[in-house]
Structure 1
Amino acid sequence: MASKDGGREFLVLFAHHNMYFNMRFQELQALAALLGVSAQELYAEAKPTALSASMAVLVRLPGGEADAKKICERSVLVKAILEVWAQGSQWTEVVEACLAQTELRRQRRQYLAPPRSICLRVESFGKTMTMEEKTAVMETLRPLFDGDEVVDLRDPDTTLWVLEEHSHRSDEKTHLGKRTRPPQRVVLGRQVAGGRSTDKKLKSGEKCFFHRYDLSKRAVLGPTTLDNELSFIMANCAGVRSRQLGMDPFCGTGGLLIAMAHFGAKLFAGEIDIRVVRGWRIAYTKNKAAMLDAARSRGLAKGPIPAADATQAANECSGSCDSASSWSLQYLRGLGLPLAVADGAGASKAPKQPNNHNAKAEKDPALTSAGGCNIFTNFVQYGFPSPEVVVCDNAMPPWRGVARGWLDFIITDPPYGVRAGAKKSGRDETKKQVVIQDVSNYIPSKVSYGEEELSEDLLTFAAASLVDGGKLVFLVPVDLADFLGIDRAAVEQDNEGARPNFHDICHPKAGRKKDPRLCVSETTRDPLLLDESRYVDFIPQHGSLQLLGASLQVLSGGLGRLLVTMQRRPR
């Protein structure tokens, strides 16, 4: 389709992702911005919001099919991008419209005529079509073809989408029988780019790049490792590109860093818990084979450890290396591990391992000899350069200040007390004072890090360290009761009228009193939850940062989280 200004229009078809469907426009606009297309120029219709239940939107891409393919190469939520041939309220209208377009029909013949092969993909949104219904639709479309077309269901040159869109909000219950309402619209279009493995059944189909990093295949994980798809959505919202400098000040086990590294950025990270970085108890081995392969690829050599090259591999291995294999010095230095000094007798002596190492590695000699569960192993697994990780406190960042900023983007998932408590360095004055006996091995005590204080510190750091135009992408926890007008203090037991924090909401002292009004489905279309204009009151603000967009993910227990994108204003 051609727009009035001569640009090309395409129909972007989204995957109906149960968890991240509300984020689809935020990601699409960020990817279009990478192509130089603003949100005002992108949409060929009125700018949509999360309140829209449609799985498709009409956009204008100046670069044509090349831009469409670039978007699908990076997008997580785009299922396919189509060149619309005709649309209407029923298939007879589509057939009549196509037959009336005499000149366009001749041009489209190049995609259908032999020796090119074709495939019809009949899909329905909001309704499950039977095979009989699909066959009837294809029979209705028969006049559009000359009869000499070559059909190839496994590896077609042209894929035609035959799409029906039905309303999701319907009084008709599917368990009482078939839906009889006609579709809202029907669309016939040619696929110009595919995403999310829309062609996974085809021999040469376009595959999802992020499937390679699936958590089930990753070498090392932690209990709070961010979901793989959400990590890439956040990286897309930040517009991560090669040769940029990026950071995660709450890196944990590095789930977000992996997504950033995929796009070729140079990475820095901060983490207050040394156990997470070193892989002591907190992290665990998910893919043992991948972890062992990653270790061997970085210099695992057979033979005894030379006395001069004795290391603290036992600390990282959660035990002593066996006689069959040992770490090379180059690998250990690459991870930034300090080298132990041999004793006077020439034998290597590793410091005694504290009783906080990984329990699984302790039980498995193979894991012991392979080097433990530190987060750097994942970067070795995927062949990425290791990030620069500093064990530090976000409340007292150690990073050197630069007048014009030094980071292109910051992407992070701050802890908010549900599965991982937010901590900062400090001492509880009510407790007994501790005398430090060994400064070199002392780990500073920590105290609770308030939600508002954490957000204020994060935004202050972003405003100081981001370059002009740099992006801050982070997750903000929200209580859905605030959106729905429910008094959470009255719902939760033993709250004494005080507004509970997120930890108290999930773990009330006297047990949870379930309120049916807070049992919200993750696929809800409630306007009270999806109205983006209401999010501003729940998002921390900073005068130097401009809010670009926010979208809601509904979680269990009446909680949710906002995906927020901010941009550094010009200095």
Structure 2
Amino acid sequence: MEYLIRFSQSHETFRLAEIQSLAIIEDIDLEMISYSVESPFCIVRLPSEDAARTLLRRSVLTQTIHEHWGTAETYDELHDAVKRDTAHLWPQYKEVSFKINIDAYQGSRSEKQKLNLINSFAYLPFEGLILLRSPDQEFTIFEQWEFNSVPRNLPNPLKVHFGRLVGHSVREVIKTYDLKKRTYISTTSMDSELALVTANIALAAPGKIFYDPFVGTGSFPIACAHFGALGWGSDIDGRSVRGEGGKRSLRGNFEQYGLEKLLGDVFVSDLTNSPVRRTRIFDGIVCDPPYGVREGLKVLGCRDPENKDARLVEKGKRWYQKSTFVPPKKAYSFVAILDDILNFASDTLVDNGRLSFWMPTANDQEQEMPVPTHPCLGVVVVCTQVFNRWSRRLITYRRLPDSEVDVSALAQRKQEEQLNGHTADDLNAFRRAYFKGFRTDQTDTDVVE
């Protein structure tokens, strides 16, 4: 059976990725029939009405799903399609209460026009009460108009659809996790909508273990926990992990939402000095690594390894064992952090486990940062959130089973990493471009960092 999905009017390149990921989580056979990023309407084929409801029960970027009764470019064609293809369904709704809605995307209708459109479906043999509140069945006329069009000056919308409401999404959950209502956040906390979408695309679900190596205040583990996964995290900055104690802490955020039982633990470390055992244990890794814009990227380590200060003994205790000890940090390459994320994911993800991380890039093709690759990871989807002169991409990979890995490519990658390595000078092409306004007519000496 065909169904029409009504998406929300945001994050267009994320929509299909979320729906297709939810189909995998729910083990639903989903066939895409038609979709365009310019339209919030998508037609799919699903095995049953129950499958349609199940598909949307944790979707964030959709609004509703409808049994598809017809699509056309004109109303005459739409009426012909409804009469031709759905007459066998009409007897089910003959005696029930109902109402017909109008959803005009990028357009508007006067009340008189709406009434005329609704009356044009009078051939439907419905004899039940018309109820505006809580009817047994809801039908909707969907219109898609040209952007900035004025419907009264145009003969017809670009396309019209008609369908019966089957189910709603859980889009309202965005308000539940709104950062404005969260007790403990920072300037880099991911907003609730995109955190939840990331968790969906990464296939977070009950019984799975998810990890964020740049956990901050916990936006991603919280989103994963909402969908039933056990969240773990770490961060190089212990202050963000500990917070101020009590409610104003990462653990306090979990408690705020009643998710404390789904918090595994959080600890202080960076990805290059991680205590995590390199074995295949995680079902998913989700993160928003630092871009190095506000300040240069850092990892734990001494700029001068021969410095004896780290070995000083004071009152019988080594310096690094004091409670006030702050581990020293050194500069880190942005290119290296991407490689380290991919290497860590290839070592710790289970077969078909997903890595979803955010990565910035310039909108200018000459300055665009390529999507990093790894022989053990296959790119599933790349979703883009566009800003003014730059964008950030959510890149999602699948951990390939060992039988699918190109062994020769993996060996070559390891050899190149040993020979080449990365230096702090690689830090950070994106940061330099950012402060230049992504203009190519300036030299690096024009920029004061």
TM over 0.5: yes
* Match of residue 270 from structure 1: 234
Q: Alpha carbons of 1:538 and 1:132: their partners in 2 closer, same or farther (altered >3 Å)?
A: farther
- The one of 459, 463, 474 equivalent to 2:357 is 474
Q: Does 1:122 align with 2:4?
A: no
- State the alpha-carbon separation in 2 of the partners of residues 86 and 564 from structure 1: 35
Q: Distance in 2 between matches of 1:52 and 1:150?
A: 38
Shift of residue 434, structure 1, vs aligned partner: 4.4
The answer to whether residue 443 in structure 2 is matched with residue 443 in structure 1 is no
Shift in Å at residue 256 of structure 1?
Answer: 0.7
What is the distance in 1 between the residues matched to 2:243 and 2:199?
25
Q: Give the aligned partner of residue 378 of structure 1.
A: 253
Quote the residue 1:394 is aligned against: 271
Residues 62-461 of structure 1 aligned to structure 2 (within 5 Å)? 62=47, 64-100=48-84, 104-111=86-93, 113-114=94-95, 116-146=96-126, 148-168=127-147, 178-180=152-154, 182-195=156-169, 208-280=172-244, 316=245, 371=246, 373-384=248-259, 385=261, 386-402=263-279, 405-419=280-294, 422-429=297-304, 434=309, 436=312, 437=314, 438=319, 439-441=321-323, 442-461=325-344
Residue aligned with 1:44, SS: strand
* Kept in 1: contact 2:98–2:138 (CA 8 A): yes
The answer to whether the Cα contact below 8 Å between 1:92 and 1:140 also exists between their aligned partners in 2 is: no
1:44 matched to 2:44? The reply is no
User: What is the distance in 2 between the residues matched to 1:421 and 1:67?
Assistant: 48
Deviation at 1:457?
Answer: 0.5
Alpha-carbon distance, 1:33 to partner: 1.6
* 2:15 maps to 1:24: yes
User: Cα–Cα, structure 1 residues 434 and 98, in superposed 2: closer, same or farther, change >3 Å?
Assistant: same
SS in 2 for 1:410: strand
> Corresponding residue for 1:345?
none
Q: Name the structure with the higher strand share.
A: 2
Partner SS for 2:345: helix
Is 1:570 matched with 2:445? no
Question: Which residue identity is paired with 1:13?
Answer: R
CA 1:251–1:381 in 2, change beyond 3 Å: closer, same or farther? same
1:172-203 deviation line (CA, Å, top 9, x unaligned): 6x5xx954152122111101111256xxxxxx
- Contact kept? 1:68, 1:193, Cα under 8 Å: yes
Shift in Å, 1:210: 3.8
Does structure 1 conserve the Cα–Cα contact (< 8 Å) formed by 2:142 and 2:160?
Answer: yes
What is the alpha-carbon distance in structure 2 between the residues aligned to residue 36 and residue 247 of structure 1? Answer: 23
Which amino acid in 2 is paired with 1:90? T
Q: Percent identity?
A: 30
Paired with 1:440 and 1:133, the residues of 2 have a C-alpha distance of 76
Amino acid corresponding to residue 15 of structure 1 in structure 2:
S
How many residues are paired up?
A: 392
The offset of 1:84, in angstroms, is: 1.3
CA shift at 1:95, angstroms?
Answer: 2.5
Q: Which amino acid aligns with 2:144?
A: E
Gaps of 5+ in 1: 1-7, 198-207, 281-315, 317-370, 489-534
The 8 Å contact of residues 90 and 124 in structure 2, kept in 1 or not, is answered as no
Distance 1:119 1:458, change over 3 A: same
Deviations 1:445-493 (A, max 9, x none): 12333211111111100000001111101111111123xx5xx7xxxxx
Relative to 1, partners in 2 of residues 1:229 and 1:184: Cα closer, same or farther, differing over 3 Å?
Answer: same
Assess, with a 3 A threshold, how the Cα gap between structure 1 residues 181 and 423 changes in structure 2: closer, same or farther: farther
Counterpart residue type for residue 272 of structure 1: I
CA distance in structure 2 between the partners assigned to 1:564 and 1:396 by the alignment: 24
Q: 1:194 to 1:440 in 2, by over 3 A?
A: same
The answer as to whether partners of 1:80 and 1:193 remain within 8 angstroms in 2 is yes
Offset from partner CA, 1:81-132 (integer Å, 9 cap, x none): 111112222223323333345xx43532323x33x32121101112222323
Give the SS at the match of 2:347.
helix
| Residues 65, 193 of structure 1: 8 Å contact kept | no
User: Do the aligned partners of 1:415 and 1:421 also contact (CA within 8 Å) in 2?
Assistant: no
Equivalent residue, structure 1, for 2:426: none
Question: Structure 1 pair 16/431, CA: closer, same or farther in 2 (3 Å)?
Answer: farther
Structure 1 contact 9–58 (Cα < 8 Å) conserved: yes
2:57·2:170 contact (CA, 8 Å) conserved in 1?
no
1:273 is displaced (CA, Å) by 0.3
The residue type equivalent to 2:20 in the other structure is Q
| C-alpha distance in 2 between matches for 1:242 and 1:425 | 34
3-state DSSP class of the match of 1:129?
Answer: coil
Cα 1:154–1:543 change in 2 (3 A) is: same
Q: CA deviation at 1:43?
A: 1.3
Does 2:386 correspond to 1:554?
Answer: yes
Deviation at 1:252, TM superposition (A): 0.3
Distance in structure 2 (CA, Å) of the matches to 1:394 and 1:428: 18
Change (3 A) 1:433 1:153: farther
Question: In 1, are the aligned partners of 2:205 and 2:227 still within 8 Å (CA)?
Answer: yes
User: What TM-score, normalized by structure 1, do the two folds share?
Assistant: 0.64
Tell me the equivalent position of 1:320: none
Q: Per the alignment, in what secondary structure is the counterpart of residue 414 of structure 1? A: coil
Q: CA deviation at 1:550?
A: 0.5
